[in-house]
Amino acid sequence: MSPDEMRARIAELTAEAAALRAFADAADRGEHDDEQRIAAAVARMLPIPEPKRGLFGGIKGKSRQEQEQERIELVRRAQRSTLSLHALNRVTKEIYPEIHELQFRLATL
């Protein structure tokens, strides 16, 4: 690979890394939420247990609707984290090592 090709490849990889970091940031903000996958994951969870009764007959804890919303938010956060993790892993484990290798090869020419 010629030095010009190496520089062009470094520029491509740098642009791809920037795009993946932007994707990870967008995923963290919820721009890539897949509501159908979230609903399907929540549906596969164990059923919500009946609320417990307190000492004086009142119901302790959260309502069924609040628990359902917590489950949805939990799945949503997990999905966002997974998308972000996949993008950032590609950057750190594939793109940056190749950039460093090409920079080293350019420096030793």
Residue that the structure tokens 């950039």 belong to: 99
Q: Report the percent of the chain where pLDDT is more than 70.
A: 89
Q: Is 20 exposed, middle or buried (0-12, 13-18, 19+ CB in 10 A)?
A: buried
11-62: pLDDT as tens digits: 999 999 999 999 999 999 999 898 899 889 888 887 777 766 666 655 566 7
In contact, 71 and 79? CB cutoff 8 Å:
no
pLDDT of residue 19: 97
**pLDDT at residue number 24:** 96
CA dist 70 and 40 (Å) reads: 15
Domain boundaries, the chain: 3-47+62-107
Per-residue pLDDT for 65 more than 80?
yes
The pTM assigned to this predicted structure is 0.79
